[in-house]
A and B are shown apart, each in its own frame.
Chain A
């Protein structure tokens, strides 16, 4: 019994010391934003349809857990979201706004499906191909920015649309990519189901489809592993350091000897590759097919909220991707009483409130500084004041 008490005490004192760490304060701020967002959604539901509002709230909070199929849906949707969140967040960290994740997603998906269906590659080769496709599409805005000084926002927006139309043209004009090549009465605007054309291209499921649902595969684990790799690259390698330096101040890093043109291109290429892998993870699960249409893939744009909620931190992107996927599955479960858009409203409010997080952080840091100042005065040491003054300004 005593051992449990010591562990409990030690854990609590560790958590309390973490109050000083900026990373933990960010987590507190994010949790506060999430609570406020859900509260807003609940109040909205109360205003619209008070009778069903508790049902709506329950679906929002636990909808993702109510069945194995829904839990599988959460992981299935989270994997591409994590990847596009990484794509946007990686670019943010290096000073670029990658609004072109949607186009990179589309082109990556094309490459993956092409290799899977036409060339009959195995899944890992098709996934690699999706990375190459996304990387190519991400390199173009990078090159335009580095060598022609074209703002990456406008070139990415242009390439989003060019990519979407190009992918549609490629699929529509390659007979082998359309379902009606294989079965006479299949729709002519869809790619064939991977299960029947090339089951070797479907991501391995490792028996998980028996526990959860057939849309479960190693996709989510791959996404998590890649997020960790990106985190290591950004924080522990010279290459990542140079990329971040170019992001903070392009001219200063050039003065320091870093080749900023090359690094801008690398940044966007890697970001594009990440978005492409996201698309590969989505399509190679074998559940959805690509349909020709003039809609930019939503997963591409949804990467922006994922990255913002995680403050572009790759490790945090895992959690924010899971959170947004979970909320969207909850939103789908709310139908037909409420529009599934209520989940999008909740996510939008969470992101908006995260803008307050800087204020939260300042409030908590100030409270901690006061606590420490009192402790220092009591103990009589004066050298620590400099350390805490520095910590306060590191916001």
Chain B
């Protein structure tokens, strides 16, 4: 029973960053810009969040109001990611360059800059920033004491519960509502499908696309912080390709918010099972294979490929995606 709680909570912990970043990617792609820079935005946002953590890690105020401090860190990551993504927006919208150029440049710049800055702040060669232990939400935050043998509900809630989890849930609902039920969302989507038509009705396509990229920057920054929470130890100026994985989740989710939630949970489930394959009794363990856990690590990707083969007939990217919009070229 506890095992199931472990699996569920682990799945949610990994799904949260994928969900956030994929939603952000969805906003840019729906407005017409291919966003390869998600990896860089995650790292950049997480960098500033962690520099903030480092500054307040041992302060009195942060220990007495831990979740408020975490909220501040999330805000800082979001703003950092948003500002960083404006570089991509500038190159793709104003300079009308190939959108992969801005994305790749930001992807390369972020980890390099992050390591350089961490060297400056912490000293030469020290690239690891530790996650303070008051960040995780534990029963203490609610005035309860954790039991020695946690039951199902306690494991489910408190195994890896961070502030980003409820925030991600709220953001999911907000993102779906904004995209499909507001004027802004409709205009954003039209810029990605047929920007010339949108322009002819008076929508400022450039401003919409800037907004789309900025939203992905905000969500990417929070997602970068969230992925370090899921892994649990700290920030190492690298997110191990999760930005690209979020891109894949977005495509898998057919650019729609609740499908993206499903894809993120699907993926996170398999990834989590792979990490725990030793402790789940009914899974074959391939004992005579060296590095047998790699078979399980491969599983999420193989299953995704198979599902994609069957479900991509109706895959519809936003039609005007990747084409720089030139107002004079109508």
| Residues A352 and B109 in contact, CB atoms below 8 Å apart | yes
A354 to B105, CA, bound (A): 10
> What separation, in Å, do the CA atoms of A357 and B102 have in the docked complex?
12
Partner of A144, one of B112, B116, B297, B308: B308
* Contact of A292 with B by CB under 8 A: yes
Closest to A308 in B: B101
**Inter-chain contact B315/A150, CB cutoff 8 Å:** yes
Please measure, in the bound complex, the distance between the C-alpha atom of A305 and the C-alpha atom of B297, giving whole angstroms: 29
Tell me whether A155 and B124 are in contact (CB under 8 A).
no
C-alpha spacing A342/B310, complex, angstroms:
45
Contact of A151 among B100, B115, B251 (CB under 8 A): B251
Q: CB-CB < 8 A to B291: which residues of A? A: 168-169, 172-173, 292
Contact of B95 among A155, A165, A338, A355 (CB under 8 A): A355
Q: Is B91's beta carbon under 8 Å from chain A?
A: yes
Instruction: Tell me, rounded to whole Å, the shortest Cβ–Cβ distance linking A271 to chain B.
Output: 15
Q: Is B145 an interface residue (CB 8 A)?
A: no
Residue-by-residue, is A335-373 near B (CB-CB < 8 Å gives 1, otherwise 0)? 010110110110111011011111100000000000000
B169 beta carbon closer than 8 Å to chain A: no
- Does B248 count as interface, using CB distance less than 8 angstroms? yes
One of B70-78, B210-218, B226-234, B239-247 contacting the partner: B239-247
Cβ of B310: which chain A residues have Cβ within 8 Å of it? 148
Known: A149-B312, A339-B119, A359-B95. A349 touches B105 (CB 8 A): yes
In the complex, are the beta carbons of A348 and B106 less than 8 A apart? yes
Which residues of A are found within 8 Å of B102, using beta-carbon distances?
Answer: 352, 355
If A48-B116, A355-B97 touch, whether A149 touches B91 (CB-CB below 8 Å) is: no
Q: Given known contacts A149-B312, A292-B291, is B109 in contact with A345 (CB within 8 Å)?
A: yes
Selected contact of A150 from candidates B95, B107, B309, CB within 8 Å = B309
| A:94-150 near B, CB below 8 Å | 97, 99, 144, 148-150
Contact with B along A296-311 (1 / 0, CB 8 A): 1000000011001000
Scan residues 87-145 of chain B and give those whose CB is less than 8 A from a CB of chain A.
87, 91, 95-98, 100-102, 104-109, 111-113, 115-116, 119-120, 124
Most chain B beta-carbon contacts within 10 A, residue among A148, A355, A357: A355
Report the minimum CB–CB distance from B172 to chain A (whole Å).
Answer: 21
Say if the beta carbon of B48 comes within 8 Å of chain A: no
B295 at the interface (CB under 8 A from A): yes
Asked if residues B301 and A172 are in contact (CB atoms below 8 Å), the reply is: no
Interface string of A23-45 (1 = CB under 8 A from B): 00000000000000000000010
Q: Which chain A residue shows the least CB distance to B102?
A: A355
Does B298 lie at the interface of the complex (its beta carbon under 8 Å from any beta carbon of A)? yes
Q: Is the beta-carbon distance between B289 and A173 smaller than 8 angstroms? A: yes
Contact (A308, B100) CB under 8 Å given A158-B304, A169-B295, A348-B108: yes
Question: In the complex, which residues 289-327 of chain A have their Cβ closer than 8 Å to any Cβ of chain B?
Answer: 292, 294, 296, 304-305, 308
Within 8 A of A (CB), among B155-213: none
- Taking a contact as CB atoms under 8 Å apart, the answer to whether B294 and A165 are in contact is yes
Question: With A and B bound together, what is the CA distance between A358 and B317 in angstroms?
Answer: 27
- B252: interface (CB < 8 Å): yes
Provide the residues of chain A in CB contact with B313, threshold 8 Å: 148-149
Question: How far apart are the CA atoms of A160 and B100 in the complex, in Å?
Answer: 19
Interface centre among A168, A305, A348 (most CB of B within 10 A): A348
Q: What band does the interface of chain A fall in when counting residues whose beta carbon is under 8 Å from B? A: 35 or more
Whether B108 and A305, one on each chain, are in contact in the complex, defined by CB atoms closer than 8 angstroms, is: yes
CB contacts (< 8 Å) of B305 on chain A: these are 144, 150, 155, 158-159, 162
Task: Report Cα–Cα, A153/B29, bound state, in Å.
Answer: 14
B247 → chain A closest CB, angstroms: 7
Is the CB–CB distance between B312 and A151 below 8 Å?
yes
Q: A296-B241, A339-B115, A342-B116 are contacts. A352–B91 as well, Cβ < 8 Å?
A: yes
Task: Give every chain A residue within 8 A of B108 (Cβ-Cβ).
Answer: 305, 344, 347-348, 351
Instruction: Tell whether, in the assembled complex, residue B105 and residue A355 are in contact, meaning their CB atoms are under 8 Å apart.
Output: yes
Chain A: minimal CB distance from B120 (Å): 6
In the bound complex, residues from chain A placing their C-beta under 8 Å from that of B245 are 157
Asked if A354 contacts B308 (CB within 8 A), the reply is no
Query: For the complex, what is the distance from the CA of A352 to the CA of B195, rounded to whole Å?
Result: 25
The reply on B68 being an interface residue by CB < 8 A is no
- Alpha-carbon distance A360/B100, docked complex (angstroms): 19
In the complex, residue of chain B having the shortest beta-carbon distance to the beta carbon of A147: B309
* Chain A residues, Cβ within 8 Å of B298: 161-162, 165-166
The chain A residue with its CB closest to the CB of B295 is A169
Contact (Cβ within 8 A) A158 B312:
no
Q: In the bound complex, do residue B104 and residue A158 qualify as a contact, i.e. CB atoms below 8 Å apart?
A: no
Question: Given A160-B241, A355-B101, list of 16 further CB < 8 A pairs?
Answer: A44-B116, A97-B100, A154-B308, A155-B308, A159-B305, A162-B298, A169-B291, A172-B294, A305-B105, A308-B98, A344-B109, A344-B112, A352-B105, A354-B97, A357-B97, A358-B97
Q: Which residues of A contact B (CB under 8 A)?
A: 44, 48, 97, 99, 144, 148-151, 153-155, 157-162, 165-166, 168-169, 172-173, 292, 294, 296, 304-305, 308, 336, 338-339, 341-342, 344-345, 347-349, 351-352, 354-359
Q: Can you list 22 A-B pairs with a CB-CB distance of less than 8 A?
A: A148-B313, A151-B251, A153-B247, A154-B247, A154-B251, A157-B241, A157-B245, A162-B301, A165-B295, A172-B290, A172-B294, A173-B289, A173-B291, A305-B104, A305-B105, A308-B98, A341-B112, A341-B116, A344-B108, A344-B112, A354-B97, A354-B101
